[in-house]
Amino acid sequence: MLNPVPSAEKARFDRDHASAPVRILVVEDYEPFRRFICSTLGKNTELQVICEVSDGLDAVHKAEELQPDLIVLDVGLPTMNGIDAARQIRSLSPKSKILFVSQECSADVAQEAFSSGAAGYVVKAYAGSELLDAVEAVRQGRQFVGSGLWADHFADDSDNQFLDLCHKEAFASFIPGTAEITRSHRVQFYSDDASLLDGFTGFIEAALRAGNPVIVVATESHRNDLLQRLRAHGVDGAAAIEQGRYIPLDVAETLSTFMVNDLPDPGRFLRVAGDLVATTAAAAKATNGERPRVAACGECAPTLWAQGKVDAAVQLEHLWDKIAKSCNVDILCGYVLSGFHGEQESHTYERICAEHSAVCSQ
């Protein structure tokens, strides 16, 4: 006959077992956002990041080797995407729970993620406010459906199998409000270069004074001019850059991250832009404690148009519109109106206007 475990020893075992940290594998190839995920998880002493990887195939190998309690997994990954990785992980590390954190807000992608064995799904733009809640829900054996998935899909759900899968009532319980996200993708046509800089300055200043972070994609000369104009308006752009509230990017370098054969690659663009917006929003929320409305202005599409790549410019505006619809972001695109001449340019003007929520001229 086995001797019973003394009550004091059993209590100590139960206490130690209950306090064992949740061992987490983080899989994210965008290093700044990976740092943010790990930093956010580190706020809970019950969570322990035991490994970070940036590749889908590496995630499979590390999951098999480490048998983590939880895997925080991106969808778009090198070598093997997150959904295929999740399917393999389910057989190699069946006790590991999977939480997707992705820029993808498509119901079809989310449905695939859940079908692969995931227990939760968070859109990156909402990670600052939802990641820890999602982890807690998954820990407790509940399913977590992030509110970012609602933005495009909840209003029209007549044929939405994803809602059937996740149950409409549970999905709705995470929705903070029907006016949470408002599409704001404006195009402004300026008479000359100076008026474009004036318009961008006003846009940037308004966002910074409202406490929102700003992403600016422009040429080096325009970036320098904008800092000078902001300074003249009493706004310390250099300090905002140091604080991570003002993100200046070079237009040529930014275009090189997603252009393929003189056309924007949709997958690359949505990944680059989505990660940029998500990282900026998450960093601002970590500082201010509130979810910010990210502002972005720039001249990526106008640069393509100026180079004679009209179809590329229109396609890029269409992709920016997807970002405006799915993320909490205000977008302003600036064109110099004097460049539009003749019937062909007039048609281009109409195509560009059609991709925006509002059209203005100055």
The per-residue pLDDT for range 39-94, each reduced to its tens digit, is: 989 999 999 999 999 999 999 999 999 999 999 999 989 889 999 999 999 999 99
Neighbours of 12 (CB within 10 A): 12
**8 within some domain:** no
78 and 135 part of one domain = yes
Q: Please provide the average confidence, as pLDDT, over all residues in the chain.
A: 81
Alpha helices in the chain (DSSP H): 7-18, 31-41, 56-66, 82-92, 107-115, 127-139, 150-153, 161-166, 168-172, 193-209, 220-232, 237-242, 251-256, 266-288, 300-306, 310-326, 342-354
**pLDDT band (50, 70, 90) for residue 27:** very high
- In this structure, what DSSP letter does residue 257 have? T
The pLDDT score that the predictor gives to residue 216 is 96
Tokens representing 312 are: 């590329």
d(CA 70, CA 119): 10
228 and 97 in one domain? no
Residue 189 lies in a domain: yes
Burial 230-265 (b: 16+ CB within 10 A, else e): beeeebebeebeeeebbbbbebeebbeebbeeeebb
Please check the confidence at residue 254 and state whether its pLDDT lies above 90.
Answer: yes
pLDDT band at 227 (very low <50, low <70, confident <90, very high): very high
Report whether 183 contacts 190 (CB < 8 A). no
Q: Is 4 a domain residue?
A: no
CATH number for the domain spanning 343: value is 3.40.50.300
- Write down which residue in 131, 148, 172 finishes a domain: 172
**Looking at the structure, do residues 204 and 337 belong to the same domain, yes or no?**
yes
Name the domain boundary from 144, 172, 200: 172
The pLDDT of residue 178 is above 70: no
Asked whether residue 192 falls in the same domain as residue 161, the answer is no
pTM exceeds 0.85: no
Read out DSSP for 196-232? HHHHHHHHHHHHHHTT--EEEEE-HHHHHHHHHHHHH
Q: Assess contact for 103 and 125: CB atoms under 8 A.
A: yes
2 falls within a domain = no
**Residue 361 confidence (pLDDT):** 62
Q: Are residues 281 and 324 in the same domain?
A: yes
pLDDT > 90: percent of the chain = 46
Domain extent at residue 257:
184-361
92 closest CA partner among 70, 61, 136: 61
Boundary (domain end) residue, out of 145, 172, 199:
172
Q: Is residue 177 part of a domain?
A: no
pLDDT band at 286 (very low <50, low <70, confident <90, very high): low
**Residue 151: which residues within 8 A CB-CB, separation 6 or more?**
105, 180, 181, 325, 326
CB 324 within 8 A of CB 150: no
User: How many domains, the chain?
Assistant: 2
For residue 207, being part of any structural domain is answered with yes
Whether residue 5 lies inside any domain: the answer is: no
Across 23-37, 141-155, 222-236, 315-329, the highest mean pLDDT is recorded for 222-236
CA 279 to chain centre: 7
Residue 54, domain CATH: 3.40.50.2300
Q: Which of 235 and 150 is assigned the larger pLDDT?
A: 235
The alpha carbon of residue 131 and the mean position of all alpha carbons in its chain are separated, in whole angstroms, by: 13
Query: Do 200 and 133 share a structural domain?
Result: no
Q: Are residues 19 and 52 in the same domain?
A: yes
Same domain, 202 and 329: yes
The token pair that represents 184 in the structure block: 């704001």
Residue 3 lies in a domain: no
pLDDT, position 96: 96
Looking at the structure, tell me whether residues 31 and 97 fall in a common domain: yes
Q: How far apart are CA 47 and CA 66, in angstroms?
A: 15
Is the same domain home to 210 and 345? Answer: yes
The per-residue pLDDT for 67 is 97
Residues 242 and 156 in one domain: no
Question: Are residues 194 and 338 both part of a single domain?
Answer: yes
Look at residue 238 in the predicted model and tell me its pLDDT.
92
